[in-house]
Structure 1
Amino acid sequence: MKKKSVFENPLISFVTLTYIIFFMLFMVIGICIWLGAPEWLTVTMQIMAAWSSTFAFIILFKRIYPELRLKDFIKQQFTTRLRFSVLGTIVAIQVIIVVVTMLLHQLTNTQGFAFSYPGLGLMALAFLDNVIRGPLGEELSWRGYALNELQKKYSPLKSALIIGVLWGFWHTPLWLASGYNGVDLVKYSVLFLIGIISFSIIVTFFYNMNPNLVIPIVIHQLFNFSLVVISGDLLEIMVYVMLLYFVVAVLLVVINPKGNLYKKKH
């Protein structure tokens, strides 16, 4: 009997192809910078790299869902009615994380730091840039597909942890290109991974409460933007932001209203 390859599993194929596309585009970005290519070309490649998981999903879509059209799949991700109680809760949690981060840093650092406000126009551009480079390019595939597929086999919590680790290490090239080295690089990478896994648990919890892709998109956008709106040393900011996300994730696991993190999807 012929043994089946692990790559015949669509989910494994998706993760593998996502990594390959991202790593290849990341190398192209490096070459563009090294050759002094026009900025628009480098930015375009950066956006494409951020969308690597979506590209992988589109390439494999007919293999994953042979009887479904891509536009119908996308439409399905937004058909569930948005619950504004859920949306308001996630916004409130993330605003509190930003405020607490600023207060804690003020108490422990004499130089301090503050809310970064370069003007409405630049803030709007930064917000749009974060949307394009983050949630719009990642949530359809990582949450809309991968998370939902994992939850057919595992509990939401286990699925969230798997996605958190896979999605976290997908960012490895960004860690290496962060400009940090030695102890600072280790600190940056560990904090990043803690934040990503915690984020994955939080997203899974609220996404299961209201399975509309707007929920993970909003959480993802606010997660990324929280590191933009606070001025100061990035590593110092990450200590508070990532650990606060970790605290929220632990509280959700411990309190776990209605057992949302332990009930397997059918």
Structure 2
Amino acid sequence: MFNIEKILLFVVTMITSAALLFFIPLIHIQIDWASLVTHHRIKVGLTLLSPVIFGAITAYIAYQQNLLAKTQANISKDQRDIAHNKQRMENYNFLYDLVKPFSEVIPLILSLPYSIPNALRTEKMYEAVSREISDEETQFSDKEKEWSQFIFRLKIKFEEKISECFISRNKLEYMLDEKTISKIDYFLRKSEEIFEDRWFSLTDSVINIENSKERIDQIKKIIADMKDLRTSNMRMNQAIKKYMDIRDIISPRKFGE
């Protein structure tokens, strides 16, 4: 261990010597060094300077401790922010997986045409759109089989997607507010209705005249309903967005921050 008294004595001696060496040449007086610098005077000087030196050391230590405390506080805050942002990212990924099926509903509905091509409007085609025709049924043409298999597979795919959406909806019920859930319910209910209307329009086109007033009104209603469905989809997405917005943690920092 260092002897603080000896160290301070050395410091005071060096300071005093430096001062004397600087000022004495300016004073043209004969000085008796032996009588000027005595052990008693050094001890008195040390006694007077010790509180100042100890105070300076204490203040310096306190200042460094304050800087250390601020640094540790900033580190703790950064760690909390990192943990919080990580949790938000995990929540975003979880919610994204739940709401992703909703975005796939409208494309499936739009994949179902309004009507059958004129060349295929036959009695056999009416049967083909009433049930899925297999490749082994030779009484149907390849085109009739292709249409039948296409629309029925699309119907199965839509039903599976709607079921997936309802599973997500049930999980979201205890995570989102009631207004958002009601928007999801309306969107899903409207999607089922429109798909059924388009399906009926497709099968109906086989036996009804395409340009009849009934058919025109039917298609106009489907178009209007699709517009309403897109609007409800937009409102649903806006309601869900507030739970998923993480732009503040992934956007580039401004210069100087």
Q: Which TM-score band applies after superposition, normalised by the shorter structure?
A: under 0.3
Compute the TM-score of the two structures, normalised by the length of structure 1: 0.25
Compute the TM-score of the two structures, normalised by the length of structure 2: 0.26
